[in-house]
Structure 1
Amino acid sequence: MSASYPLSSPSLRRLVGYARVSTEDQLNDAQVDELKGAGCAVVHEEHGSGASRTRPVLAKLMRDLGAGDVLVVVRLDRLARSVSHLLEVIEHLDKRGVHFRSLRDPIDTSTPQGMFSLQVLGAVAQLERTLIAERTKAGMKAAKARGRLAGNPGLRERRPEAVRAVAAARKRAYLEELITSAQTWLPTVRRLRPQHSWDDVVRILNRKGHDWTVERLRRAVHHLVGERLAEASLIKRSPKRPPEHRLMTLVAGIAIADPDLTLIEIGQQLERMHERPPRGGRKWQASSVKALLDRARQLGLVTSGPMPGS
């Protein structure tokens, strides 16, 4: 559930607010008023527990924010459930050129003072992880000295409730991992599926530095679709295409994934992927790539724009 409140702002930066409450019967009015008063151009509302990172409104907002934007919250606990989660979110925002500000905390990543406070938080998080690890090791050592087995006794005895609890925890952790990383790969999947096969999508993603297999990518997308965080159309069966049509859609996918590539660079990628030109041989010419890209434009697979240079 979300709502947006447009507000004019003279700031050069676009301030975007995020408000969250724990239950459906609570109201965000106080948070919304404070965020609007701080100059937020838009305020997004979400209802959800602070103990979970599964927040569709926040996930969509993270995808929509662009370089120069500032994500604003009233308090840090409205955004993150822990210091480590907060640092993950801010790190992702920073990679996209997005700043973060908390109105009631000394955190504003657009200022040196705010960055210093963030570094302090990072040191605290590292200390927290170290102390937890040390306590865990000490506890295991003490249990072993008393003759106790480490681990969950319910799992050792295969109690159904313990097995279900562990399975649910693993599912939550997996979903949180997908949501955290989705901004780096899901947009490409959305552009290519279901017109392109899973094999082609994986090859294009891995050329951009990912490390997917077809099985893992299909599982990830199916999981997001099941949680209604991605469109069901992504998992539809790909249509069967003749070989030349497949090359055309593959060239279109590469061009969409990296619009700055030249025709020669697209051909070099195809050679590294061991794809052969339509007329045979192993070497891709710029003219062959251009012909396929022209057809892709005519069919609407690639939006109009400047043709990559040779």
Structure 2
Amino acid sequence: MTLEPTPQTSTGKKIGYVRVSDTDQTEDLQVDALKLAGCDVIYGDHGVSGAIRVRKGLDEMLTSLEAGDTLVVWKLDRLGRSTIHLLQLLDDLRRRGVDFQAITQGIDTTTSVGRMLYGQLAVFAEFEREQIRERTKAGMAAAKARGKHIGRPRKLTEDQIAYARRQLATQRDTVAHMATSYGVAPITLSRAVKTTESDVDSLFSI
């Protein structure tokens, strides 16, 4: 469901995000905490497990963020579906100049301690990217040694589609460039971005 946010400037906003599953009873608690933290607008996913890869509310929230904004969540587990996913999201925020707060865990990257955390996350995120590159190279080498064809375009994952949607929505990349990096035709990526939708409620408002 959607409610209108209050008027605000283009930068320096506090953006909240909540996620609740069907059995979760913390929705009101999360929203109240985000309001108290001064959030200008709150996005959310209702009835969604943290393990779900594509969450419409999360996707729209990430697209709305601008440099100078602060993303606020009640707890870290509301944001990422896994440690690696959370790490990737936080590193992406850091690169975009977006601060982050997790209320119950006292994490706040607008402080000196929080900025140090961002620095540590960057190191771990780069390590994970390097591990992925090495595993990909090793897998391709092993497949080639077995005589398997490597050039067939691979199917896009839900993570890739969600990331592409954010990049294209904010004009930070092009279909042609992203399709090349994914090893698929531009039309394949365009169709995936246009047709992949989530059926969950996506926006909450103050």
Taking structure 1 as the reference length, what is the TM-score of the superposition?
A: 0.46
Q: Over alpha carbons, which structure has the higher Rg?
A: 1
Deviation at 1:50? Answer: 0.3
**Residue matched to 2:21:** 22
Whichever structure has more strand as a proportion of its residues is 2
Residues 213 and 87 of structure 1: CA distance in aligned 2, closer, same or farther (over 3 Å): closer
Is the Cα contact below 8 Å between 1:15 and 1:70 reproduced in 2? yes
Q: Which amino acid aligns with 2:71?
A: L
What is the Cα deviation at residue 216 of structure 1?
2.6
2:177 corresponds to 1:178: no
> For 1:80, what is the secondary structure of its paired residue?
coil
CA contact (8 A) 1:3 1:43 kept: no
Name the CA shift for 1:34/1:184 in 2 (closer, same or farther; >3 Å): same
The amino acid across from 1:117 in the alignment is L
Deviation at 1:70, TM superposition (A): 0.6
State the distance in 1 between where 2:182 and 2:86 align.
29
Q: 1:19 aligns to what SS in structure 2? A: strand
Partners of 1:184 and 1:112 lie apart in 2 by: 29
User: After superposition, where does 1:288-307 map in structure 2 within 5 Å?
Assistant: none
Q: Which residue of 1 aligns with 2:110?
A: 110
Deviation per CA, 1:17-62, whole angstroms, max 9, x where unpaired? 1010012885611100011011111112212110123111111111
| Identical positions, percent | 33
Q: CA deviation at 1:225?
A: 2.6
Q: Secondary structure at the match of 2:86?
A: helix
Runs of 5+ consecutive residues of structure 1 not aligned to the other structure:
131-169, 190-200, 230-310
Report if the CA contact (8 A) 1:5-1:43 is conserved: no
Per the normalisation by structure 2, the TM-score is 0.65
Q: Note closer, same or farther for the CA distance 1:119–1:95 as it changes in structure 2 (3 Å cut).
A: closer
1:37 counterpart residue number: 36
CA offset digits 1:218-238 (Å, max 9, x no partner) = 222222333226xxxxxxxxx
2:196 is the counterpart of 1:227? yes
For residue 105 of structure 1, what is the amino acid of its counterpart?
Q
Residue 185 of structure 2 corresponds to which residue in structure 1? 216
Cα-Cα RMSD: 3.8
Cα deviation per residue 1:229-283 (whole Å; 9 max; x = unaligned)?
Answer: 6xxxxxxxxxxxxxxxxxxxxxxxxxxxxxxxxxxxxxxxxxxxxxxxxxxxxxx
**SS at structure 2 position matched to 1:13:** coil
Greater RCO (CA < 8 Å, at least 6 residues apart): 2
Measure the CA separation in 1 of the matches of 2:52 and 2:44.
16
2:151 aligns with none
- Structure 1 Cα separation of the partners of residues 75 and 192 of structure 2: 31
Quote the residue 2:77 is aligned against. 77
**Count of residue pairs brought into register by the alignment:** 171
